[in-house]
Amino acid sequence: MQNYPHPIIAREGWPFLAVAVIASLVVTFIAPWYCSLPLWLASLFILQFFRDPPRKIPGDDRTVVSPADGRIVAVERTQDPYLQRDALKVSVFMNVFDVHSNRSPVDGVVEKDWYHPGKFLNATLSKASSENERKALWIKTVNGFDVVCVQVAGLIARRILCYVRSGDRLARGQRYGFIRFGSRVDVYLPPDVLVKTSIGDKVYAAESVLAELPKGRRA
């Protein structure tokens, strides 16, 4: 996958912003100013929703960074449903005011990807991880650790965008997808990672550290 550069506004939002601004301008010129006010407010909302600011990525290659902006809603030991292993699961919930670009939590190669159609339950619910529409990536790091990152649709989010597939290489913090209008991202990690976050923490994609992988290589 090419690590395409984003401007300040994510490319996924360009069509929405263009339509909103053009409609606002048209109504401004043909009607009293107050008639266009709702459209300008909608344009501002779209502008903030699709903002995609640059991020400073931690330098330590053992760090697992957050794949999304939002709040931590789960840190728990569980069964990884994709690799059928014991794992530590960290979940990040994004509301409509968070940045919605998704970034790779680690450096590595996408070994496999899965898509599951499903429901559109409230993404804060734990059952959303298994019942909602979702797109999962199995990433193997250069040191052999397995990390699974799952984009989960939500009550309002009905559009998961993922730009990578099996065989693609990802850099830690690299943009790889987008979820429109709120949702969550689940990360399944090896059970022996050192957790660096807790429930309720506010995290930022590519900058906030969720966990630290063990030293050495994994066979």
Q: Which of 43, 91, 183, 208 is catalytic?
A: 183
Active site (annotated) includes residue 183? yes
Question: Minimal CA–CA distance to 61: which of 104, 99, 101, 111?
Answer: 104
Measure the CA–CA gap between 201 and 189, rounded to whole angstroms: 18
How many other C-beta atoms can be found within 10 angstroms of the C-beta atom of residue 124?
A: 16
In the sheet that holds 63-65, the strands lie side by side as: 63-65, 209-212, 194-195
Measure the CA–CA gap between 189 and 77, rounded to whole angstroms: 9
Give the residue numbers marked as catalytic: 183
